Amino acid sequence: MRVVVQEEPFDFGREAQDFASGHSNMGAIVTFTGVVRDADKGGMDRMVIEHYPGMTQKALEKIAAEAVSRWDLGDVLVIHRHGELRQGDMIMMVATASRHRVNAFEAAEYLMDYLKSRAPFWKKEYTADGAEWVAAKDEDEDALSRW
Amino acid sequence: MDVLYFAWVRERIGIPKEKVETSATTVMQLVEELKTREERYEVAFSDLSALRVAVDQELTDFDASLDGVREVAFFPPMTGG
């Protein structure tokens, strides 16, 4: 299990390759990458992601450990950035390795659902009109109930 | 104890962190105490359904105990991922 919180960009290709080649007897590797899109109203210049330094790493490790305990996984990778990002930048990625694909897919979805609303990050979007905090969505909170 | 604020809570209160001497025994009592201080606290804590709290860096509820606690953080619902 590897959990990384960082300001710098990460190399998705290299991370995915390293993750996939680091295990034997894993029939399925699933990766998900979150990318900065435009603000819903358009015209976004940049996004700034604030986080809670003392808590973020621990919260992510707890979520990843829970995934490992629920599914038959060979490994889990979580990388999440903070700081200033622009459209098209990669915000975060998760990767799961399992003997079978169902576990790898489900665990990746679980990780994403929990990262959305239980990891202490807050996104702020800057447009020509000013800056606005991104509001949490009810459906993101509701998504947790399926687990 | 240290009280931390993040995102718009930090902006409304105007500081990211402060030391608070309190006799409050629960998070809710601490909130009530802070609200009596100044208007900016009252505004920030006016709708608790829009806030989340962590005690010693673990998410919890507003009725959580402050016994032995070193750090309380207030923030809006998280938007990770």
Q: Looking at the domain assignment, is residue B44 inside a domain?
A: yes
Residue-range domain boundaries for chain A: 2-131
Residue B10 domain-assigned?
yes
Q: How many structural domains comprise chain B? A: 1
Nearest residue on chain B to A111, alpha-carbon basis: B81
Domain of residue B36, residue span: 2-75
Among A5, A49, A51, A52, pick the best mutation site for testing chain B contact (most B Cβ within 10 A).
A52
Q: What is the CATH number of the domain that holds B21?
A: 3.10.20.30
Q: Which of A81, A67, A73 is nearest to A114 (CA)?
A: A67
pLDDT in tens, A117-130: 999 999 999 999 99
Nearest to B57 among A58, A92, A141 (CB): A58
Mean model confidence pLDDT for chain B: 97
Mean pLDDT throughout A13-23? 93
B47 within some domain: yes
Q: Does residue A119 sit at the B interface (CB-CB below 8 Å)?
A: yes
Looking at the domain assignment, is residue B80 inside a domain? no
| B81 located within any domain | no
Q: Could you tell me if residue B43 is inside a domain?
A: yes
Percent of chain A with pLDDT over 90: 90
Identify which of A116, A120, A133 has the shortest CB distance to residue B81: A116
- Convert the pLDDT of each residue in B68-79 to its tens digit: 999 999 999 999
Q: How many Å apart are CA B59 and CA B74, to the nearest integer? A: 10
What is the C-alpha to C-alpha distance for residues B64 and B53, in angstroms, rounded to an integer?
Answer: 9
* pLDDT tens digit sequence for B19-52: 999 999 999 999 999 999 999 999 999 999 999 9
Report the pLDDT value the prediction gives residue A81, as an integer from 0 to 100.
98
Reported ipTM: 0.95
Q: What number does CATH give the domain A2-131?
A: 3.90.1170.40
For residue A115, the SS3 value is helix
